[in-house]
């Protein structure tokens, strides 16, 4: 089990590290609370993060957006340490421990330390919806692309835990990859530029934020900006839509997939990755009905199986694949279809 500590206070961070190193078998890692460090630190680590300890000893501006960002980036639960005065909604992903900061000189320190350890243990042992069992027959665990299939556009949707998978996919695609990719990842708008910069550093392809009425260029990866839905127009250009959230999110995968189904039909490929809820599931089924190739991420490789599960229940998937096979499928496609016209 891997625990990350995020704290503005070096004293609190060191104390937490010592507590868990001495009294648990968890692997402990320390993160600076400054946002710009999170992407870089996350890229360096080659393991799954199981829990974040978030020190709330000091006031955090935009705490709700920051927690949403952390959940989507790391795909794990968060334990807030300190009095919850900022009215953050407690959920299956966010928990609190109010007896913080701990004072080693206080008479009840040992008792509160044990309470913290017990709280962490209970959270880590509690199963989330990523463990929900599902048995659906039909979709293949492999995908063979016929030479007659002409893919002009790839559309990808992701939510919780998606950044790690997107990084893996985009960094594996060669510079010769010719099919443009449009992507919706649920991340608050204030973090989008950092997210795109982070992906760009590891990708041989150009990763950029989608722009309104811009051309869709070969060999480019476009990311939907925050607070706008991304769609494609009948003229095969990108359009940013300022409309109400869909499935409580904006941008929404559903908006993108629906427009791709209507404009590109059988010449598209849709991929629905890890995430909570059902955003994009029905629209992936629409893409499939229009003749597109549709892929959902396998349960075992998901941080959360919500969106892929919803798509499977609708019969929306041509194939169910882990990220490694998704990568190989995309590379196989571009080998058979050179160039974007």
Any idea which residues carry the catalytic annotation?
Answer: 159, 186, 279
The string of DSSP letters for 164-187 reads HHHHHHHHHS-TT--S-EEEEE--
Burial of 151 (0-12, 13-18, 19+ CB in 10 A): buried
E strand map for the chain: 2-7, 27-32, 51-55, 77-81, 94-97, 153-158, 181-185, 206-209, 220-223, 229-232, 238-241, 268-272, 293-297, 319-321
Contact 42, 164 (CB under 8 A): yes
Q: Other CB atoms closer than 10 Å to residue 307's CB: what's the count? A: 30
- The residue to which tokens 């109400």 are assigned: 244
Q: Other CB atoms closer than 10 Å to residue 230's CB: what's the count? A: 26
**C-alpha–C-alpha distance, residues 7 and 26, integer Å:** 18
**C-alpha–C-alpha distance, residues 126 and 124, integer Å:** 6
């Amino acid at each position: 089990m891997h625990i990350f500590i995020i704290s503005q206070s070096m004293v609190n961070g060191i104390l937490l590290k010592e507590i868990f190193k001495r009294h648990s078998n968890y692997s402990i890692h320390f993160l600076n609370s400054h946002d710009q460090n999170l992407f870089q630190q996350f890229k360096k680590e080659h393991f799954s993060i199981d829990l974040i300890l978030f020190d709330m000893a000091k006031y955090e501006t935009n705490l709700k957006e920051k927690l949403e960002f952390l959940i989507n980036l790391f795909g794990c639960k968060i334990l807030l340490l300190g009095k919850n005065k900022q009215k953050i909604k407690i959920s299956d992903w966010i928990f609190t421990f109010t007896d913080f900061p701990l004072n080693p000189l206080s008479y009840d320190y040992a008792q509160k330390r044990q309470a913290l350890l017990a709280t962490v243990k209970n959270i880590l042992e509690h199963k989330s919806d990523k463990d929900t069992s599902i048995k659906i027959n039909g979709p293949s665990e492999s995908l063979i692309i016929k030479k007659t299939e002409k893919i002009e556009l790839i559309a990808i949707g992701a939510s919780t835990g998606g950044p790690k998978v997107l990084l893996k996919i985009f960094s594996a695609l060669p510079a010769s990859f010719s099919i443009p990719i449009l992507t919706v990842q649920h991340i608050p708008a204030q973090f989008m530029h950092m997210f795109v910069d982070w992906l760009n550093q590891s990708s041989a392809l150009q990763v950029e934020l989608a722009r309104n009425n811009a051309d869709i260029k070969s060999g480019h990866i476009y990311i939907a900006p925050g607070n706008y839905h991304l769609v494609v127009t009948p003229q095969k250009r990108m359009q940013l839509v300022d409309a109400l959230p869909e499935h409580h999110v904006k941008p929404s995968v559903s908006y993108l997939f629906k427009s791709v189904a209507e404009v590109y039909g059988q010449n598209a490929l849709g991929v629905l990755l890890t995430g909570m809820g059902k955003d994009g599931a029905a629209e992936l089924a629409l893409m499939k009905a229009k003749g597109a190739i549709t892929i959902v991420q396998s349960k075992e490789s998901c941080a959360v199986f919500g969106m892929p599960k919803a798509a499977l229940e609708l019969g929306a998937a041509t194939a169910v694949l882990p990220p490694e096979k998704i990568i190989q499928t995309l590379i196989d496609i571009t080998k058979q279809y050179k160039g974007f016209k």
